[in-house]
Amino acid sequence: MKEQKYSDKKVIALAGNPNVGKSTVFNALTGMHQHTGNWTGKTVGSAEGRFTYSGKEYVLVDLPGTYSLCTHSEEEENAGEFLRSGRFDAVIVVCDAVCLERNLNLVLQTMEITGNVVVCINLLDEAKKKGIEIDTEKLGKRLGVPTVGICARTKQGFPELLSAVQKMSEDKKEPKFPVKYRESTEKAIEILCGTLRKTPNLPLSERYMALRLLTEPKKATEEFKELFCGDKLKNCDISTALERAYRVCGGREKVQDDIPESIVKTAENTADGVVKTNQNKKYDFDRKLDKLFTSKLTGIPIMLLLLLLIFWITAVGANYPSELLQRASGFLTQKLMLLLTNAGVSVWLREMLVNGMFKVLCWVVSVMLPPMAIFFPLFTLLEDFGYLPRVAFNLDHSFRKSGTCGKQALTMCMGFGCNAVGVTGCRIIDSPREKLIAVITNCLVPCNGRFPALINIITIFFAAGSFGICRSVLTA
């Protein structure tokens, strides 16, 4: 059911894999300026915007970028919960034209939940540069849902997309099931469907509920009871039906392997003949760069050089604006003190306001603002070039030995700019345990605000009591 505040408007969900231009589509449709990024989990919460088409107002909900609707990560859980709740009239699934086959996995999973799906093939311009052509008409016939090719940056294909969304959101359509599973899995699904048929007016299809119960029985049972207010499932003996289903299909592990394998195989068959590649066009440059940036021989040295270059530019470049800000604050401090003196303000109040508050505030701004103003644009530049996922990939093996994952490297880098950003950025990490480790250890990363205090403490308490080369090293 849709939320009460949207009862008079059509709600459109925007789903897709990470880094397919989903947020760019969202911005283009709504006129908003949501930040676009290219690392997994950039959008973990859902953004909302509005757009008007043919005199009707629509609410567009940008779901977190995810590769699957299982609940292995926070992005997958948020996106899956929204789609299963039914609080929408249609779903736009954004796909990358360059790697369509991989994106079709999410399309097929979404189609098992709802029939109100519009497939949006984005980045056609990038695909054209690489000699890739997508037959959208043929793909639409194979999937049985409207399929539109667009370029979000230039808004090419948007009229066709909006027209398809309008038609698809007019009435509720039954989910389509293009994926055929192994015979034993199909029998297990039928056993659960037979049990679920005893419950009338289910908000989700019996087949999809059966698939969810087979893959994630505990989470699915709790979620369905919450969706149905605990009333509709009381006549269904789910646990007994699950035991029978697992016996038929050979156990939970086998069915959990078969379902994703079947989805991938169906995606391959669907993309076959739809994607055409021009062999005369050479597009190996990206692959060569990938090999250079991610190989064991050159990946780590290049990464270290780039990060050291950013830190060096930040440390050296921040000195000049910091000095200018300190001079400006000193000038303003004198003028403010003179103004308060002429106004007859008492000495204690004058000292508290100027030296106690204003001067400290100016010092904090002059110390923290310049490094942050330099570091984050440089870090964003690496993001725009698509290098950040390579950093996480390069360091994943080393971080695994410490009990965490390569994604923490990104949050630690952000922590050098601002520790609060580094800690909040830990939400992109899937595992709760790894996320907790990242939050705790990121708090120890010395950010711009801590550097002056750390330098003073080291100089006063450690360097002052040392001699010779030790004193020089500690002071440095």
| DSSP letters for 371-393 | HHHHHHHHHHHHHHTT-HHHHHH
Distance CA 82, CA 13 (A): 9
With residue 182 as reference, give the H or E element that holds it. none
Confidence of residue 92 (pLDDT cuts 50, 70, 90): very high
Dihedral of the alpha carbons of 330, 335, 339, 345, in degrees to the nearest 10: 20
Q: Is 60 exceeded by the pLDDT of residue 47?
A: yes
Which pLDDT does position 42 carry in this prediction? Answer: 44
Task: Give yes or no for a contact between 389 and 40, defined as CB atoms under 8 angstroms apart.
Answer: yes
Number of other residues whose CB lies within 10 A of the CB of residue 325: 17
Q: Is 90 exceeded by the pLDDT of residue 310?
A: no
State the DSSP string of 110-128: HHHH-S-EEEEEE-HHHHH
Residue-averaged pLDDT of the chain: 82
Distance CA 293, CA 164 (A): 41
Which of 327-341, 345-359, 441-455 bottoms out in mean pLDDT, i.e. has the lowest?
A: 441-455
Q: Which domains does the chain have, with CATH numbers?
A: 4-168 (3.40.50.300), 183-276 (1.10.287), 299-442 (no CATH)
Which of 105-114, 267-276, 427-436 bottoms out in mean pLDDT, i.e. has the lowest?
A: 427-436
Which pLDDT does position 420 carry in this prediction? Answer: 82
Confidence of residue 470 (pLDDT cuts 50, 70, 90): low
The CA distances from residue 457 to 362, 450, 454, 475, in Å, are 21, 11, 5, 10
Q: Is 70 exceeded by the pLDDT of residue 339?
A: yes
Which pLDDT does position 465 carry in this prediction? Answer: 60
Which pLDDT does position 38 carry in this prediction? Answer: 41
Distance CA 169, CA 153 (A): 25
Confidence of residue 39 (pLDDT cuts 50, 70, 90): very low
State the DSSP string of 409-461: HHHHHHHHH-HHHHHHGGGG---HHHHHHHHHHHTTS--TTTHHHHHHHIIII
Handedness of CA 158, 163, 168, 169 (dihedral sign): positive
Confidence of residue 103 (pLDDT cuts 50, 70, 90): very high
Task: Give yes or no for a contact between 283 and 129, defined as CB atoms under 8 angstroms apart.
Answer: yes
391: closest CA among 287, 314, 301? Answer: 301
Distance CA 219, CA 102 (A): 26
Q: Is 80 exceeded by the pLDDT of residue 232?
A: no
Percent of the chain surpassing pLDDT 70: 87
Both tokens of residue 331?
């000038």
Distance CA 265, CA 267 (A): 5
Which of 69-78, 134-143, 337-346, 462-471 bottoms out in mean pLDDT, i.e. has the lowest?
A: 462-471
Report helix, strand or coil for 120: strand
Residue 67 CA, distance from chain mean position: 10
Class of residue 206 by CB neighbours under 10 A (exposed 0-12, middle 13-18, buried 19+): middle
Number of other residues whose CB lies within 10 A of the CB of residue 322: 18
Residue 391 CA, distance from chain mean position: 16
Residue 147 sits at φ, ψ, to 5 deg, of: -130, 125
The upper half-sphere exposure of residue 404, i.e. CA atoms within 13 Å in the direction of its Cβ, equals 23
Both tokens of residue 260?
């994703």
Distance CA 8, CA 187 (A): 42
Q: Is 70 exceeded by the pLDDT of residue 40?
A: no
Q: Is 70 exceeded by the pLDDT of residue 340?
A: yes
Which pLDDT does position 282 carry in this prediction? Answer: 52
Q: Is 60 exceeded by the pLDDT of residue 234?
A: no
Which of 158-167, 236-245, 305-314 bottoms out in mean pLDDT, i.e. has the lowest?
A: 236-245
17: closest CA among 132, 119, 157, 143? Answer: 119
Confidence of residue 6 (pLDDT cuts 50, 70, 90): low
Both tokens of residue 381?
């530049």
pLDDT, one tens digit per residue, over 117-150 is: 999 999 898 888 888 889 999 999 999 999 999 9
Number of other residues whose CB lies within 10 A of the CB of residue 35: 10
| Interacting residues of 304 by C-beta distance below 8 A, sequence separation 6+ | none
Amino acid at 4: Q
Higher pLDDT, 170 or 226: 170
274: closest CA among 156, 107, 459? Answer: 107
Both tokens of residue 135?
């037959």
Residue 27 sits at φ, ψ, to 5 deg, of: -65, -40
3-state helix, strand, coil split of the chain in percent (to 5) is 60, 10, 30
Which pLDDT does position 37 carry in this prediction? Answer: 43
Distance CA 130, CA 243 (A): 50
